[in-house]
Each structure stands twice: as structure tokens, then as C-alpha cells.
Structure 1
Amino acid sequence: MTDAEYDLLGIGLGPFNLGLAALLDGAPADLDVRFLEQNPEFNWHEDTLIRGTTLEVPFLADLVTMVDPTNPHSYLNYLSEANRLYDFYFYEEFFIPRREYNEYCRWVADSLSTLRFDRRVTDVDESDGVFTVETVNPATGERDRYTAENVVMGIGTKPHVPEELSDALGGSVFHSASYLGRRDRCLEADSVTVVGSGQSAAEVFRDLLERRPENGYGLDWITRSPGFFQMVDGKLGHMVYTPEYTEYFYGLSQETKDELLAEQDLVYKGIDPATSAEIYDQLYEQSIGGADVDVGLLAATEVVDIGDIEGEPGHQLLCEQREEDEAFVHASDAVVLATGYEREDPPFLAPLEPELARDDAGRLSITEDFRLRTALDGEIFVQNAELHTHGINAPDLGLGPHRNAVIVNRLVGEPVYDAAPAETFQQFSVDDFVRERGARRPGETTEAPSPD
């Protein structure tokens, strides 16, 4: 035993750590836990909750259901408590509005006594198996100190802007992460350009496209991707989103993992097929009768610089079309940079850096059960920081409950939740296929099945 105040401190409060708090709330073990969040309340990407956008995973991928279907913090129980079960029943959709997912998460957050808001973590240190976590209230400057035997980081990602474009940020040039808060700047402009690819860019473009006729701006979408491609979709392809595939991926060599991740972009980074179809349908609708839709879409083109237009309010984008190897300048009053998100090691880990193991590329080394490899006595768990070790399932909402079940079981020291990889119709490893399908390796013989 230690003199730590808590068994576990959670740093950051997105859906993954919120889901962990929800599972711990129902766990039979008597654990003292706290989750610390720098914002004053729970809100999941508040400025991206555009009306009409949905989760890209089914509603069963809530905070708890995939490992604990009867948990009171489930989405279905939220609907029941909100008197919306019949409304949802007749909604007849598997993919729920993103705005309602946020409302559901806020409902769960309101029910948990282990969450502490207005706590920005500034330092984490460890001594003799006890972590000391320093926090500051961003609004008041008030400081607090917490101690715990274990820490779990769920701090998420931050908007990524290419370095060559970062000087242009401000005013009518902004990242899509702040879209709703700055949308009026686009609606008041004469021309708007969306830069980037993937779902975020598509959702912003669709919203601006729908509003274009009544606002009258020209609208362009420029991406360095070779096309406006949708993500790989289909029931067979979705079988990689399972704990079984995560287990398989973890067992591969790091070189193979890196090669696979480079090939799997469209498995999880492309445009949702429904969004893609809605954009095309809107373009078609607006062009009826030969109307000029005043819209441009250009792929294989990188925006390498954004500058001001002297004496005018707009911006000029220096662009390079890769396939033709040709440059041009494009003028736009407003620019939305849908250039993705990135993960950085949090500054508060700096005191622990000498104790953290890293791979040859400088990335954190992570165990199969989601712990940082360290020389510390205490344990640091991670949420969605393990893409390079566990694969494309790291950011997937549907796999969050499984990861949390693994973490809970590790904390308690016994299987509170069933975290064994559930088998699907697909085998991922040779071992599994040989065992399940009666195949053999070269040089091996197969035994005839014994009679019943």
C-alpha cells in the first residue's frame, strides 16, 4: 500500500476517459478515482457539431455497451431517461446525430461524481510508486495537487495546421475545429475555400454548399489527395474494427505495422459514403436548369502558402498541382483549413521523460494492455495514443469500451469485464486459420477428422 490519495487519476475527459469513468462507476471493486478536465464542462468537439452530421459508428458504440450492455450509462438508457425511446424507435437509423451523442455524453458526465472540471494538468511526477499531479484552474489560477498510484491519459488530439500555413491563421483563416464559432465569417464572404480532405473537410463543404444559394458566395474545395475518395465501407471490411484485429496487429513487427498504417488511410480517413452522396446530390440539385453553381473542386493540389491581398480583405493561396507539376494563385475571402489533427506528447510528462521507453522513431513504447513502458513503479495507461502499436482501432469509438475493460481489469487485478477478443467470421492470423479451417503449413501433415 502507498500513501496515495487515489487509486487512479484520469487526465483529460473525452469519450474514452468518460467511458472509463462510467465502467468504473459500476465496477464491484472499491477504487478511489478522479478524472481531471481543463474545460468547465463536457463538450465533444463543440464547434464541429454541424446539424445533419452523424457518428460514423453505430449507436451501440456508446461509452459502455460493447462490454457491459446492461450498464445504466448506456445510450439506450439515456434515451429512456430522456423519454426518447419511441422517438428513436421511429427514427430508424443506426447512426445517430453527433449532436445527440454529445448530449448523451453530457448526461453521463452529469451523473458521475468522480469528474473534476476546470483542472488543467501542468505537471506529473512520480516517486516511490506515487504520482503527484499538479493542476491549475484556467479561469481563476487556483492550484491543486493530487496523488495517485496510477494515471490514465486521455487528452485527445489537437488541430493540425501545416507549418507553412500557420502564419495565416486568424480572422477569416481558421481550422475546421472552430468552424461553427466562425461560420458567419464564411457566410458574409464573397468567396470561401475549404482546404483538406477527409470527413471534416467534407462536412464543412457540405454545410457551406447547402447555404451557398441564399448567401451567394463562390465555394471551392482543394485537396492534396489524388481525389475526393470515400472511406472503405462495407460489412466485410468493418471486421477489422474488433479486439481480435487489434490483438493481431499488436503482434506484428513495427516495420510491418508502419507499412500497414500507410496503406490503411482510406479504411478510416476517407469521406463517409453518405456525406459524399449528399454533396453530389446537392451539386446536382443546384445545377438544375443550367444554373451556375459557382463551385470548384480540385484534387492532387497542395496549398503551400497563404498571403494577404494588398489593399483588399481577401487572401491569396499559392497552390501546386502535383500531377501536372504546375503552380497557380487562388484568391479567397475566407479559408477553412480542414487539415486534420495531430497528437503530441503532453508537456506535463516532461519530468518523467528519463523514465519513458521509446521506439526507434521516438514514439512512446506501449504494452498490449495499454500501459506506457517505463522504469516507474506506478503505471501510466493511455487512451488513443497507441495508433503505432495497436493500429487503426486506437481512435475508434466502438473499441473504446474494450480498451477500458482491459484497463479496469488490470487495475482491479481480476476480470471484472470480459475483455477477451470476440471471434468474428474473419481470421487474421495464419495460426487462427490453420486451427479453425484445418489448413497446414508446408511440411506438416493433417490428421483426418475422427469419426463421431
Structure 2
Amino acid sequence: MKKDEMFDCIGIGIGPYNLSLAALMDEKTELKVKFFDKTPEFQWHPGMLINLTDLQVPFIADLVTFANPQSKYSYLNYLHTHNRLYKFFFFHKFEMPRQEYNDYARWVVKQLPDCQFHSEVIGVEDKGDHYEVVVDNRLTDEREVYRAKHVVMGTGSKPLILDGMDGLPSEDVHHTSRYLFHKESTMESTSITIIGSGQSAAEVFYDLLKEQRDHPYKLTWLTRSEGILQLESSKLGQEFFAPDYVDYFHGLSFEKRLNALKTLDQLRNGIDMDTLNSIYNILYNHSVSENAPDIVIQPLTEVNKIRQEENQYVLSCHQWQEDKEFSYLSGKVILATGYVPNIPSWFDEELGGKIVWEDEKRFKVSRDYKLVFKDEEERDHHFYTLTNLEHSHGAGATNLGLAVDRNIAIINDITGEEVYKVQRNTIFSQFSMDEHS
């Protein structure tokens, strides 16, 4: 079924980034828009909504506040509407609980009729002056075709499963993104191994550490990292997540941008200090008892392959600093191996040959988040992306704190006016002498 009307913008995916865009467009523009997502409803990382875990960014990094603190879609208005404002006041924390963030986002979704779930975008065709977006509507079992002047791809990320760790029974070997779905059966095992580093690995380890007294499993944490390292959380360090740094980073050459990402690893892949302290507190209290739970924490160790052997799994490991190979047995394995950009299957076939690439996997993106086409100068219809931006816009590409600034740029570019004020010169750091010359 082909729709006749022309939309100003169609969004692909309804995660926090495109949901923010939808809310900001709804409040201050007259744009005709539609957003699609293949899932039945909004759920933010449901497999990792572990009880008593918080976001790693302050509540100000909600869907709208950096653009419009007076917005009806703000987190504070959510609290006020649900009679939770005083409770949050006495909570005395700057971060919001992860489960509550999910509930807040679902509250916003319910107020936006232009968000359509059960609908997967299965193709986007460039028609020369607009795009045709093909949607598989699973509620009506129909294929729908929409016309749009602009498209925004906000398809997020997908779990990274390394070679040699795939194809095994999901109830036994699974990514942290599926952790809660398998938690009860996982705890029935006599041994559990977590592979990987970062916040997700630490949160799963901590959650299982708390349960270990009531479930006599051996708990192991293996990571190839040099250590179980803390996230850089100093106030000046966090200024690398400001729009001012994105301006600087985007202006670097491609090679310099890739090198800059390596130098910022502690800002991106460390573990929250409170999580590390909570883990250590349990470890210390366990150590008092002669019957302490069986726990192994070993960094410097890369797991290269997993194979099934009867009712357990053999992990082929390499302690890379000593250059020693060894095997390790485990009943269940949880992969905290991170995520990669989720690029739709139709993207390369329909758009790959028309756009400029910086290398074989990373496309060229303008400062205002447009894909750069080979015929860019002739173009008045644009394809924006909120996905696969780390190489072009820096370490904050997956940080919720910069989502609103991205959407300000997109809205202002589409409308040709400053609908939302661009915030710059907002930090104490400078990154180039040119900024003050």
C-alpha cells in the first residue's frame, strides 16, 4: 500500500535517540513526521534492567532538557506527573535509576502518536528529490510505502558476538543483553564465567555476586583488559562529552580521529566507581568466612574460543602478558563483549554506492549528521544518521548526554532555522589554540 502524502521526515528506529528527536519535533515544529520500530513496544535494554542499577549520566541528560528545560517531556515533569518529585529530591542522587529511565521513556512514547511499533523498515530508495521508505507493518500484515523529504536512521547497536563464541545454546552461552532473560537458569549451574570488561560485565558480576550465598556456583570473571579499571569520571575529564569537543574532533582528519579514540579509552570503557566499590565490599565480607564462595577474577586473559563438551563448556584462553595458553571449564558463560553499530541489511545495497566512505566500514558524516553523498552539492533531501558515529563525532557518539545536541542540529538543518538554540562555549577546556586566536 502506497501512501500519497509527503512526510518532512521519517525516523528509522525508536530508541532514546530518535525518541528524543520525535519529542523535540512534536513540541516546537509543524513538521509532518513518522517514526517506525520493529519491536512491539519501547523497552530500553530489557535484558540489563538489573534492579538497583543507575544510568551513568545525570538526569539532565534526558530526552529534551538540553534543548528545552521547560519541555513537558522532561524527566522532572515525568516525576512531577507521577507524584515522585519529592521522593527524587530526598533520593539525593544526580543519576536516575535505570528501570525508571525506561519507564520515563515509555511515558514519553505514549504521548507521541507519530511513533509506530510493530513496523520494520525493510528498504529506503533514493528517488532523486525524496526517499521512499518501505515498511513491513506487522499489525496489519501489509507492506506500506511512505514518501519522505528526509530520513533519520537511529537503529542503535547490536550485541557483538566474537568468532568462536557463536552458535552455542543461548540458555548456556549468551550476551549480557539477554542476561535477565536467562538469569534464573544460569544460577542453577555449578559454575558461571563472565567474559569481557566494562560496566555491563561489572554489573552482571556484581548481581551474581550478591546471589552467590544462596546459589553455590563458582563465579569467574575473565577479561583481556590490563585490569578491572575505573571509568574516568573527573569533572574536567567529562568535558570530552561536550558539543565543543565534538566540533574539535569532527574537524580532525580520519586517521587523527581514530587515534584520538584510542587515547580516550578510559572515558569510554571503564567501570563506575560505585560499582567497583560495591563489588569489593562483598568480596571483603566474603573473605571473613572460611567457607567463602569460590570466586576468580583474572584480567590480562583473552578467550579465543568456546566449545561444548558434554554438560559444560571449554574456554580456550590466552594470558597475553605471559603468553600462556590454557583451558577453563564453565557450566554457563555470559559474554560482556560489547556492541557494534546496527546497520540495516538493506543499507549497502540501496545507498552504499551513492555515499562517500572513509574506509570499508565507516561512512563519511557531516558535522550536522548527514550522510555525505557523492552528489552532495545537488541535494536538498538528506539522510541523517544517529548510528555508527564514533569515527566521525567521537567518544560521545553513544553517550545519552549528547543525544539532544545531535537532534538540535538535525531539526535546525531540516527547518533551515534555529528552532532550538545551539549551545557552545559551555566548558572550561579548550582543544585547539585556534579557538581563542
TM-score computed with the length of structure 1 as normaliser: 0.92
Q: What is the one-letter code of the residue matched to 1:22?
A: A
Q: Is the 8 A contact 1:365 1:372 kept in 2?
A: yes
Q: Please, which of 396, 415, 421 is the counterpart of residue 412 of structure 1?
A: 415
> 1:128 Cα shift?
2.5
Match of 2:222 in 1: 222
Match of 1:354 in 2: 353
Q: What is the one-letter code of the residue matched to 1:330?
A: Y
* Counterpart-to-counterpart distance in 2, 1:420 and 1:398: 13
Aligned to 1:289, the other structure's residue is in SS state: coil
Q: What is the one-letter code of the residue matched to 2:63?
A: L
Match of 1:59 in 2: 59
* Residues 1:274 and 2:274 aligned together: yes
* Counterpart-to-counterpart distance in 2, 1:251 and 1:418: 22
* Residues 1:382 and 2:385 aligned together: yes
Aligned to 2:55, the other structure's residue is in SS state: coil
Q: Which moved more, 1:378-387 or 1:35-44?
A: 378-387
Instruction: Sort the Cα spacing of 1:135 and 1:182 in 2 relative to 1 into closer, same or farther, 3 A.
Output: same
Q: Describe how 1:15-26 pairs up with structure 2 within 5 A.
A: 15-26=16-27
Match of 1:391 in 2: 394
* Residues 1:12 and 2:10 aligned together: no
Q: Deviations over 1:360-416 (max 9, x none)?
A: 444111001110001355201111421101101111101111110111101111001
- For structure 2, the residue ranges without an aligned partner over 5 or more in a row are none
Q: Is the 8 A contact 1:365 1:373 kept in 2?
A: yes
Match of 2:299 in 1: 299
> 1:136 Cα shift?
1.2
Q: What is the one-letter code of the residue matched to 2:128?
A: D
> 1:138 Cα shift?
4.6
Q: Describe how 1:163-178 pairs up with structure 2 within 5 A.
A: 163-178=163-178
Match of 1:449 in 2: none
> 1:263 Cα shift?
1.9
Q: Is the 8 A contact 1:36 1:120 kept in 2?
A: yes
Match of 1:330 in 2: 328
Q: Which has the larger radius of gyration?
A: 1
> 1:270 Cα shift?
1.1
* Counterpart-to-counterpart distance in 2, 1:130 and 1:322: 52
* Residues 1:428 and 2:431 aligned together: yes
* Counterpart-to-counterpart distance in 2, 1:183 and 1:137: 32
> 1:4 Cα shift?
5.3
* Counterpart-to-counterpart distance in 2, 1:169 and 1:409: 48
* Counterpart-to-counterpart distance in 2, 1:296 and 1:134: 50
Q: Describe how 1:124-273 pairs up with structure 2 within 5 A.
A: 124-138=124-138, 141-273=141-273
* Counterpart-to-counterpart distance in 1, 2:96 and 2:127: 45
Q: Which moved more, 1:342-351 or 1:155-164?
A: 342-351
> 1:139 Cα shift?
6.7
Match of 1:438 in 2: none
Aligned to 2:149, the other structure's residue is in SS state: strand
Q: Please, which of 313, 319, 324 is the counterpart of residue 317 of structure 2?
A: 319
* Counterpart-to-counterpart distance in 2, 1:123 and 1:86: 47
* Counterpart-to-counterpart distance in 1, 2:159 and 2:308: 23
> 1:36 Cα shift?
0.4
Q: Is the 8 A contact 1:126 1:378 kept in 2?
A: no
Aligned to 1:219, the other structure's residue is in SS state: strand
TM-score computed with the length of structure 2 as normaliser: 0.95
Match of 1:112 in 2: 112
* Counterpart-to-counterpart distance in 2, 1:294 and 1:223: 18
Q: What is the one-letter code of the residue matched to 1:332?
A: S
Q: What is the one-letter code of the residue matched to 2:358?
A: D
* Counterpart-to-counterpart distance in 1, 2:48 and 2:138: 23
Q: Is the 8 A contact 1:4 1:149 kept in 2?
A: no
Q: Deviations over 1:48-107 (max 9, x none)?
A: 100111000000000000111001100000000011001111111101110000000000
Match of 2:406 in 1: 403
Corresponding residue pairs, total: 429
Q: Deviations over 1:324-375 (max 9, x none)?
A: 1111111111100110001143212221222111114441110011100013
Two-structure CA RMSD over aligned residues (Å): 1.4
The answer to which structure has the higher strand fraction is 2
Q: What is the one-letter code of the residue matched to 1:368?
A: R
Q: Is the 8 A contact 1:225 1:300 kept in 2?
A: yes
* Counterpart-to-counterpart distance in 2, 1:140 and 1:332: 45
- For structure 1, the residue ranges without an aligned partner over 5 or more in a row are 436-452
Match of 1:44 in 2: 44
* Counterpart-to-counterpart distance in 2, 1:124 and 1:353: 12
